[in-house]
């Protein structure tokens, strides 16, 4: 806790910078939110997805999302709306590009998703995130105290805003996969914060020490090894997904890699800083004594 004020100032700066980035640059929304054309094709042999991505990039479809569609011989290609081109024309151009590198390629399906559907999906996604944060607040409020509820949910907001700010800064695509990672981050960060909060509450109740700084510092030190080990093993899985999970899982693993680092930091420093700001004391954790009922004469 000796450097908590320095890191608290750093957190405030990062959150403010992230909000400014989100307000000025916004997110690089993927096709799930902007709409676009989906083309499904089938080949007589397995399709090399890496080669397909390269062919599409050379043809001007650098933002295309390529995925297997049921088997290695079927793929789905999603491309953003193209200026001056109808959806059917975009689909035909994609099909012709793929046909140049794959023999006997068959066009199975062409679909167009308008921007209105993407707008509805974006609004529903934001609502889902707010609902998740609200339910977390209710849960922590009843499990601990109002001060812990405010501190924990503020830490969750801190994590989400910084991750979104990074996506805005580096212009990584933000799609439903990344949204799933952000929701997973909320759960992971909350779990980490609750472990620390449980130990802080126990130490407040079971020690004769009265200085909150000493009590919180001891509680965090006792849970530090568990926090680091949990984060490290999770990061190992995400690193494997990043390198071997393919293009589709890359954005998911990027969001969670950043989020776990930020979430581990916030469960230690952001929660504790806010508890001190709210004036946490030993009285907040005392169990009220039951009133004795006088026996009837």
- Structure confidence by residue, pLDDT tens digits, 229-244: 888 999 999 999 888 8
**Predicted pLDDT at 289:** 56
Q: What is the mean pLDDT of the chain?
A: 83
**Predicted pLDDT at 71:** 80
Degrees, nearest 5: CA angle 194-198-203:
150
Strand-pair partners of 206? none
**Predicted pLDDT at 13:** 95
**Predicted pLDDT at 256:** 92
**Predicted pLDDT at 117:** 59
Could you give the CA distance from residue 162 to residue 154 in angstroms, rounded to a whole number?
A: 12
Specify whether the CB–CB gap between 81 and 35 falls below 8 A.
yes
**Predicted pLDDT at 293:** 47
Kindly report, residue by residue over 40-68, the tens digit of the pLDDT: 888 888 888 888 888 888 888 877 888 88
Tell which residue, 81, 83, 87, has the closest CA to residue 34.
Answer: 81
**Predicted pLDDT at 284:** 66
Could you give the CA distance from residue 261 to residue 253 in angstroms, rounded to a whole number?
A: 12
Residues of the chain with pLDDT under 50: 291-297
Could you give the CA distance from residue 38 to residue 31 in angstroms, rounded to a whole number?
A: 10
Residue in this structure with the two tokens 């908590």, named with its chain if needed: 4
Could you give the CA distance from residue 211 to residue 31 in angstroms, rounded to a whole number?
A: 53
End-to-end CA distance of the chain: 56
Strand-pair partners of 66? 77
* 18, 24, 30, 33 alpha-carbon torsion, rounded to 10°: 110
Q: State phi, psi for 97 to the nearest 5 degrees.
A: -65, -45
């Amino acid at each position: 806790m000796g450097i908590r004020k320095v890191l608290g100032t750093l957190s405030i700066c990062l959150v403010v910078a992230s909000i400014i980035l989100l307000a000025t640059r916004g997110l690089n929304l993927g096709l799930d939110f902007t709409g676009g054309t989906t083309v499904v094709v089938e080949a007589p042999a397995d399709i090399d997805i890496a080669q397909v991505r390269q062919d599409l990039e050379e043809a001007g479809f650098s933002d295309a999302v390529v995925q297997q569609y049921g088997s290695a011989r079927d793929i789905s290609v999603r491309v953003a709306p193209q200026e001056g081109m109808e959806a059917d024309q975009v689909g035909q151009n994609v099909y012709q590009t793929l046909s140049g590198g794959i023999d006997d390629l068959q066009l199975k399906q062409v679909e167009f998703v308008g921007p209105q559907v993407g707008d509805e999906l974006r609004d529903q996604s934001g609502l889902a995130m707010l609902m998740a944060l609200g339910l977390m607040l209710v849960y922590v409020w009843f499990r601990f105290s109002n001060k812990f509820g405010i501190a924990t949910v503020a830490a969750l907001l801190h994590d989400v805003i910084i991750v979104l700010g990074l996506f805005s800064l580096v212009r990584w695509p933000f799609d439903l996969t990344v949204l799933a990672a952000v929701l997973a981050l909320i759960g992971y960060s909350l779990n980490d914060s609750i472990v620390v909060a449980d130990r802080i509450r126990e130490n407040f109740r079971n020690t004769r020490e009265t200085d909150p700084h000493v009590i919180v510092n001891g509680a965090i030190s006792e849970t530090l090894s568990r926090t680091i080990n949990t984060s490290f093993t999770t990061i190992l899985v995400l690193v494997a997904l990043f390198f071997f999970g393919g293009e589709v899982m890359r954005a998911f693993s990027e969001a969670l890699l950043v989020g776990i680092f930020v979430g581990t930091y916030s469960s230690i420093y952001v929660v504790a800083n806010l508890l001190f700001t709210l004036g946490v004391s030993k009285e907040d954790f005392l169990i009220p004594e039951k009133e004795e009922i006088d026996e009837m004469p």
